């Protein structure tokens, strides 16, 4: 609710500052993003493995959305916008995800979204490590990778749920500013789906 208010306020502000901002405002006027099925609605699937797979498949709508994919790319460059174009200007992951020496993400990305210029922001804006690249992978492959503690930052299922419900870069996906389409559903719905997936054994879709 508050988020929508902020969003409209951002769009209104964008209208005031000229031509390119007008385009952003038009984007903001697009219908709201796709929805997510509530976790509880999956309880009708009696087979636990099938239920778990179905829950992760639903989560895949978020994981493959541009808001998450742009920061979990296959190459060392982030992507931008709903069309997932390569980031301009050229920036790279660097040693720690915060960019190469001399052109850190924080040079341009502030602690919060700066909507008049459409620049997203967060206190620890950074590119996900190469081991957490999702771009070009199937939802099943992303699932296997997410569970693999050698690639996911040493997280068990509980730590994964904690990450997606508390990490500010993940939560940014539902408050992206700049006329961007938020990730499907709400952060709370996504967290509930992942919790239900973990509770049902964390099974992955085949393929
Ligand atoms: C601004 C860039 C950025 C965005 C946007 C972003 N992430 Fe990430 N993500 C990261 C970074 C950096 C890490 C590594 C953090 C760490 O290991 O502590 C990460 C790690 C993760 C992990 C840890 C496990 C793994 O194997 O990937 C999950 C889960 C995750 N992100 C989910 C999401 C979801 C879901 C979204 C979209 C709603 C999202 N992220 C959007 C940068 C981003
Ligand atoms: C020289 C300035 C600059 C630097 C440095 C920079 N960015 Fe950006 N970035 C921008 C601007 C401007 C935008 C907004 C452009 C747009 O979306 O049309 C943007 C957008 C993005 C987006 C798009 C979000 C979305 O979903 O649309 C991501 C992801 C991103 N930057 C990641 C990074 C990362 C990670 C770093 C550091 C490795 C970085 N950027 C460094 C200027 C910069």
Residue 60 has pLDDT above 80, yes or no: yes
Name every protein residue with a CB atom under 6 angstroms from any ligand 1 atom: 62-63, 67-68, 71-72, 97, 125-126, 128-129, 132, 146, 152-153, 160, 163-164, 169-170, 172-173, 183
pLDDT in tens, 142-179: 999 999 999 999 999 999 999 999 999 999 999 999 99
pLDDT in tens, 68-115: 999 999 999 999 999 999 999 999 999 999 999 999 999 999 999 999
Structure tokens at 71: 């920061």
**Angle of the 139-147 helix axis to the 48-63 helix axis, nearest 10:** 100
CA proximity to 73, closest of 132, 143, 120:
132
* Smallest CA separation from ligand 2 atom 6, residue: 105
Compute CA distances 158 → 55, 99, 100, 165, whole Å.
16, 29, 32, 11
Give the pLDDT band of residue 20 (cuts 50, 70, 90).
very low
Query: What is the DSSP code string of 39-66?
Result: GGGGGG--SHHHHHHHHHHHHHHHHTSH
The closest-lying atom of ligand 1 relative to the alpha carbon of residue 152 is 26
Residue 31 has pLDDT above 60, yes or no: no
* Mean pLDDT in residue range 34-62: 97
The closest-lying atom of ligand 2 relative to the alpha carbon of residue 127 is 35
pLDDT for 63: 98
Q: What percent of the chain is predicted at pLDDT more than 90? A: 83
CA 123 – ligand 2 centroid, Å: 14
Coil, strand, or helix at residue 167?
A: coil
CA angle centred on 152, ends 150 and 157, rounded to 5°: 105
* Mean pLDDT in residue range 26-34: 48
Distance CA 128, CA 138 (A): 18
| Mean pLDDT value across the chain | 88
Q: Mutate which of 33, 60, 72 to test ligand 1's pocket (most atoms within 8 Å of Cβ)?
A: 72
pLDDT for 9: 42
Query: What is the DSSP code string of 103-165?
Result: EEGGGT--SS-BGGGTB---TT--PPPGGG--TT--HHHHHHHHH-TTTTTS--HHHHHHHHH
């Amino acid at each position: 609710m508050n988020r929508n208010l902020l969003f409209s306020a951002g769009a209104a502000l964008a209208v005031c500052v000229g031509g390119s901002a007008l385009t952003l405002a038009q984007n903001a006027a697009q219908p709201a993003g796709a929805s997510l099925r509530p976790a509880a609605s999956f309880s009708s699937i009696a087979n636990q493995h099938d239920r778990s797979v179905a829950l992760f498949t639903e989560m895949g709508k978020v994981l493959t959305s541009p808001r998450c994919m742009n920061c979990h790319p296959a190459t060392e460059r982030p992507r931008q916008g709903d069309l997932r174009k390569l980031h301009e200007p050229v920036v790279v992951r660097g040693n720690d995800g915060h960019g190469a020496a001399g052109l850190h993400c924080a040079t341009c990305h502030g602690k919060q979204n700066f909507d008049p210029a459409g620049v997203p922001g967060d206190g620890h804006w950074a590119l996900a490590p190469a081991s957490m690249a999702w771009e070009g992978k199937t939802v099943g492959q992303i699932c296997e990778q997410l569970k693999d503690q050698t690639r996911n930052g040493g997280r068990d299922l509980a730590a994964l749920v904690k990450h997606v419900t508390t990490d500010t870069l993940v939560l940014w996906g539902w408050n992206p500013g700049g006329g961007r389409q938020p990730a499907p559903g709400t952060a709370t719905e996504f967290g509930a789906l992942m919790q239900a997936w973990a509770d049902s054994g964390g099974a992955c879709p085949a393929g």
